[in-house]
A and B are shown apart, each in its own frame.
Chain A
Amino acid sequence: MKGKGDESWVARLGGIGWPLTMILGAAALWEILVRGLSIPKWLLPALSAVLLRIGQDAAYIGFHAGYTLYVIVSGFLAAIAVGVPIALMIASWRFAEKAFYPLLVFSQTVPKIAIAPLFAIWLGMSSLPHILITLLISFFPIVIDTVAGLKSLPLEMVHLSQSMGATRWQMFSKIRLPFALPFLFAGLKVAITLAVVGAIVGEWVGSEKGLGYVLLLANGQLDTALAFAVILILSAMGMGLFFVVWLLEKLFISWHVSERVKEIEGL
């Protein structure tokens, strides 16, 4: 008993310990290399310099990070609002599949960075073009994965619900939708990471706010420390958002296989 307990304690520490060691190791390496090789500040600033910059310009960076966060979250939510209904239509009607799929693929093959300026022209200097680009970049995996989930319901489950006299709505709400949830969440996890990219692309093309805008400024002025500060904040934001989606997944579909693997291993 004691041995088993120790093992799981070590395992648990390893669960946090390994990634933490790697991150700290990489940070230390960065600091040491930059100082040891005396790399010029405009080429690659030391980590300490970057962190210092975040501290100094906290208010400035915070304001723009707030705007970018707003764009990411709005675009992501809009992607769900658009992506899930499209997925439902595609899964429900064959003609919808035929009608939407080519358009969907087209919307993904068009380089977003190429059409982003058009959005800026059409929609002006509001947050709308930024949110739209974010939506466009992140809704695709939501559609694809939700369609896969809705379509992979076993035939026997369809037969079973028919034998219960289920209406179309009951069939959907009680069986098809819960069955598709793990797929939907897989799509959401991909989508949230893409939404971060989308927001930056949107801001790059035309904005007076946001981390994308700050990044452009910093690059233009060879303010490498600020650029790195923004990149660090961005990746922290991305990880935080991913974590939120992951938490929601755990909350909603605790019954799902990929979610309960740990539980089984822990036995």
Chain B
Amino acid sequence: MSNGTFIDIRGVTKTYPSKRGNVEALGKIDFAVQEGEFVSIVGPSGCGKSTLLKIIAGLLSQSTGEVLLGGARVTQPQANVGIVFQSPVLMEWRTVLKNILIQGEIRHLDLEQMRKRAEGLLQLVGLQGFENHRPYELSGGMQQRVAICRALVHDPPLLLMDEPFGALDNLTREQLTLDFQHIWLETKKTVFFVTHNILEAVFLSDRVVGMTPRPGRIDLVETIDIPRPRTWDLLGSEKFGHYVEKLRSMFRSQGVLCDSKDVPGKPGVAGECRVQ
């Protein structure tokens, strides 16, 4: 079963009805994520990458096509996943430990075992000793670490992450990306990681999927062939630069990124410039 297909996205589209006609959020997406694979989706704002994540989680229904998770068709919210959102979504009325344990409470899992796992995870993210703190006593980065622990405590086969580091400052973000790599190396989950940050995507992933602006379609799939554990020293390396440049040039040809010579709204050197 190892290295079989875990997420199978088949001809998925999403169209939202609106007052001025239908809005096509997601073009036709066909893509498969292997078991244990770390796949990132990068794309401009509004390209439907978060929509795709929610469809995989069963939180939104697709307009056409289907998604298979471990061979089973997704028709309702999936419980065998861990989700991390852009905001930590912690429960203010619970302590750090209890925020993580809510996974076990709702799923009726053995709480003693969950507690041991939660404590192990808190250690892994460097938050040992914070078990009884309240969310408001933690910084944004620490809160997001707690959210990651909560997404992992029930040992789900799949981790869905929707711009998990997007609300953090750059330094915290860099550190958390690095730490998250170690967590992933220890747990080896299948990860579906949505971001608009190219560096983050290349740094973390086995494969990076580049999306077009709305309606989002897959423009580019890039396999990142850099051994792990990776460090931020890679930033200066030729190989890392090569992948980053490839994705950047994709955005340039889409008109998402513009040369200084190009004027927004007017045809530029590499294509039409879009106003973001």
Residues of A within 8 A of B (CB): 154, 156-157, 159-166, 170, 174-175, 178-179, 181, 253, 255-257, 260
Contacts and interface: CB of A to CB of B under 8 A. Distances in A.
B105 to A, nearest CB: 7
B93 A253 contact: yes
Contacts of B79: 163-165
A165 B83 contact: no
Contacts of B31: none
A156 B93 CA distance: 17
Contacts of A256: 92-93
Given A159-B54, A163-B81, A255 B107 contact: no
Interface in B51-69: 54, 57-59
7 contacts: A159-B77, A163-B78, A163-B79, A164-B106, A165-B79, A166-B106, A255-B92
Nearest to B84: A160
Contacts of B91: 157, 175, 178-179
Contact of B136 (A156, A163, A179, A257): A257
Contact of A159 (B59, B102, B103, B107): B59
Residue in A164, A175, A181 whose Cβ sees the most chain B Cβ within 10 Å? A164
Contacts of A255: 92-93, 134, 136
B165 interface: no
A252 B57 CA distance: 34
A166 B91 CA distance: 15
B85 interface: yes
B89 interface: yes
B87 interface: yes
Contact of A165 (B59, B106, B136): B106
A94 B156 CA distance: 35
Interface in B81-138: 81-83, 85, 87, 89, 91-93, 102-103, 105-107, 134, 136
Given A156-B87, A159-B57, A159-B83, A164 B93 contact: no
Given A159-B77, A163-B77, A179-B93, 15 more contacts: A154-B87, A156-B85, A156-B89, A159-B57, A159-B59, A159-B85, A162-B59, A163-B57, A164-B79, A165-B77, A165-B107, A174-B105, A181-B93, A253-B93, A256-B92
A157 B102 contact: no
Contacts of A154: 87, 89
B93 A178 contact: yes
Interface of B: 54, 57-59, 77-79, 81-83, 85, 87, 89, 91-93, 102-103, 105-107, 134, 136
Contacts of B106: 161, 164-166, 170, 174
Given A162-B77, A163-B78, A163-B81, A157 B89 contact: yes
Contacts of B82: 163
Among the interface residues B59, B83, B87, B106, which one has the most CB atoms of the partner chain A within 10 A? B106
A160 B105 contact: no
Contact of B83 (A160, A178, A179, A181): A160
Nearest to B88: A156
A153 B196 CA distance: 26
Contacts of B57: 159, 163
Contacts of A165: 77, 79, 106-107
Contacts of A161: 106
A164 B89 contact: no
A106 B87 CA distance: 40
Nearest to A256: B92
A181 B92 CA distance: 11
Contacts of A174: 102, 105-106
Nearest to B104: A164
B235 to A, nearest CB: 31
Nearest to B106: A164
A159 B58 CA distance: 10
A181 B85 CA distance: 24
B107 A164 contact: yes
A248 to B, nearest CB: 15
Contacts of B136: 255, 257, 260
A166 B83 CA distance: 14
Contacts of A253: 93
B90 to A, nearest CB: 9
A160 B102 CA distance: 11
A238 B93 CA distance: 29
